[in-house]
A = this chain, B = another copy of it.
Amino acid sequence: MQNNATRNNEETVMKQSVVIGELAAPEYARRIGDGWPVLIPLGALEQHGPHMSMNPDVLLPTAIGIAVARNIEALVAPAIAYGYKSQQKSGGGNHLCGTTSLDGHTLTSTIKDILKEFARHGARSICLINGHFENSMFAVEGIDLALRELKWEGTCDLQVVMLSYWDFVTETTIARIYPDGFPGWAVEHGGVLETSLMLHLHPHLVDMSQVPTHAAVTFPPYDVFPPIPEWTPASGCLSSAANASAEKGKLLFDVCVEGMSQALGEAWQARAKASRA
């Protein structure tokens, strides 16, 4: 959650950080007044196998968000640290120990509330950077409810972009990361993608000696509730991260940061021009 930049003195950090929590209010107000967008990482506290910490869904969109923010002059809000319930076919299931989730309505309300607050401050361009698959639709609903209430208040010009960072991994990159064929995003829980990114960004939170080596799981074309425990491997992972590496992590990180920076930069540059016209 914190800026890893060199922290030689308070003045530098508090003037240069893109992390909202690290700014004093007047500096924050100044940047919002200048039209800086706000990026909000959406994460989760979720088991990610025996070889990885439980916070990648928070750490990865936060790190990506900070890098993007530096590229495009944006601010990064505190991450949503708890997400929607893990689904068996994308995260192993919410019956697993360690996974700590919110009801859908709680997540929706959280996102609605903070979007409205940033809009009250004056922000008009906000991006939710999702790091946990299951958050998506509840975040979408939070956005819709926030925009509705803002309209009631007379605020009609907030634009919210919703994305999941992995959607910026290009076909080319996938081919390089998975030379033996891509098993599909569906089973990428605690797999090569997340593990490589963590090895690149937070290596002390990965222990490759514990990586499970089982084959990728296949699921039937439906979901069952309550989950059938045997469907999820004992590791909690849906595929093996044995082929993960920090190099692949850097590749993934760079492609996501570059793609998002370009997409948001263009979108909001055009928008900024329009508003000036």
Footprint of B on A, CB under 8 Å?
Answer: 1-2, 7, 9-14, 20-26, 28-29, 32, 45, 47-55, 58, 77-82, 84-85, 87, 94, 96-106, 108-110, 113-114, 117-118, 121-122, 134, 136-138, 140-141, 143-145, 147, 149, 151-153, 159-163, 167-168, 203-207, 209-210, 220-226, 236, 259, 263, 267
Contact = CB atoms under 8 A, between A and B. Distances in A.
A46 B38 CA distance: 16
A267 B223 CA distance: 12
B45 A78 contact: yes
B14 A205 contact: yes
Nearest to A151: B153
A78 B32 CA distance: 27
A43 to B, nearest CB: 9
Given A117-B101, A134-B137, A151-B153, A21 B45 contact: yes
Contacts of A143: 225
B26 A50 contact: yes
B53 A114 contact: no
